[in-house]
């Protein structure tokens, strides 16, 4: 379900969201992403739309602020991984 670049991004950056690693291996990271129903979106606009749909209070936030949320991971190819 998640491509290699997405799983690797989470594996390398998981400490931005969690105080300790939740996955040590690629397989553990992939399973974790599937279990927590992580989402991959193609643009900043889609990150914004995701938060709106989830009812996240974004009053006073801008695009840069949204991307700094702990649960948003920049994959590096224009896409973003969001951990629910």
pTM score of the predicted model: 0.90
Q: What is the pLDDT along the chain (84 residues), one digit of tens a residue?
A: 899 999 999 999 999 999 999 999 999 999 999 999 999 999 999 999 999 898 887 777 777 788 889 999 999 999 999 998
40 in helix, strand or coil?
strand
Instruction: Give the pLDDT score at 64.
Output: 78
Positive or negative: CA dihedral 50, 74, 45, 77: negative
**Based on the structure, what is the number of domains in the chain?**
1
Count of other CB atoms within 10 angstroms of residue 48: 18
- Structural domain boundaries, residue 25: 4-82
């Amino acid at each position: 379900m998640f491509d290699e670049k997405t799983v690797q991004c989470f594996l390398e950056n998981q400490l931005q969201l969690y105080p300790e690693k939740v996955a040590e291996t690629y397989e553990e990271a992939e399973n974790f992403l599937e279990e927590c129903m992580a989402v991959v979106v193609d643009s900043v606009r889609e990150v914004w739309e995701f938060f709106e749909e989830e009812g996240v209070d974004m009053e006073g936030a801008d695009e840069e602020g949204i991307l700094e949320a702990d649960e948003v991971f920049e994959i590096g190819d224009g896409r973003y991984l969001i951990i629910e």
